Amino acid sequence: MDGLRCLNRGVVVWLTGLPGSGKTTIARRLVEALRERYGIRAEILDGDWVRKTINPEAGFTRDQRRLHLLRVAWIARILARNGIVVVCSFVSPYRDVRREVRDIVSGEVPFLEVYVRCSLEECIRRDPKGLYAKALRGEISNFTGVSDPYEEPENPEIVVDTEKLDADSCVSSILEYLSSRGYLEDR
């Protein structure tokens, strides 16, 4: 037994932003903090991992992305209703699809949209996987920010700017929000 506890009701924290904005780093550190500081069961559903394991046939057209994200929303909802904090890290570039995701999740558990803001220029500069370089050369189609749009969230619960804040500060902002809303129960 790992000593971690489930909450009475979990929550889904959905990180959205351009590729390379820092979503995965923040997600990993957030889950680590929830486990270590709060003793809470928390799981990450990350875009790369889900595409490799649960949904390997997922493509990158608008319809394929929509179907992919709706599947993830149902998985996140099931985990959260069982008392787990689920941190989802997905580009999720379209507002209407994020609304559908929110509707699925919030039908049963709280949903928190976190916009991981970072300029396209900075994401291109970071380019941790070399994908922007390939997209700019035309080697990758439907690449968000280059050949496919990213629609910024209009009313996210939280905005963390990774050009101005380090990952730990972003995590602290998210934890403060979760705590202020009563989502993090005391031990």
> Tell me: the pLDDT tens digits for 74-112?
999 999 999 999 999 999 999 999 999 999 999 999 999
Expressed as residue numbers, the domain containing 69 is 11-180
With respect to residue 3, please indicate whether it lies within any of the assigned structural domains.
no
Domain-embedded: residue 1: no
Q: Which residues does the chain have with pLDDT short of 70?
A: 1, 185-187
CA 149, CA 170: separation in Å to the nearest integer?
Answer: 24
Question: In this predicted structure, what is the pLDDT of residue 186?
Answer: 53
The catalytic residue positions are 92
Which pLDDT score is estimated for 55? 86
User: Within a domain: residue 67?
Assistant: yes
On whether residue 185 sits in a domain, the answer given is no
Number of domains within the chain: 1
The Cα-based distances of 168 to 29, 89, 162, 171, 173 in angstroms read 7, 16, 10, 5, 9
CATH code for position 69: 3.40.50.300
Helices (DSSP H) in 39-187: which residue ranges? Answer: 47-52, 62-81, 95-106, 120-126, 131-136, 167-180
Q: Which residues of 129-147 are buried (b: 16+ CB within 10 A; e: fewer)?
A: eebbeebeeeebeebbbbe
Q: Tokens for 130?
A: 């070399």
Q: Identify the pLDDT of residue 185.
A: 64
Element (H, E) at 36: helix 23-38
Whether 6 is in a domain gets the answer: no
186 within a domain of the structure (yes/no): no
Confidence at residue 1, expressed as pLDDT on a 0 to 100 scale: 47
In a domain, 26, yes or no: yes
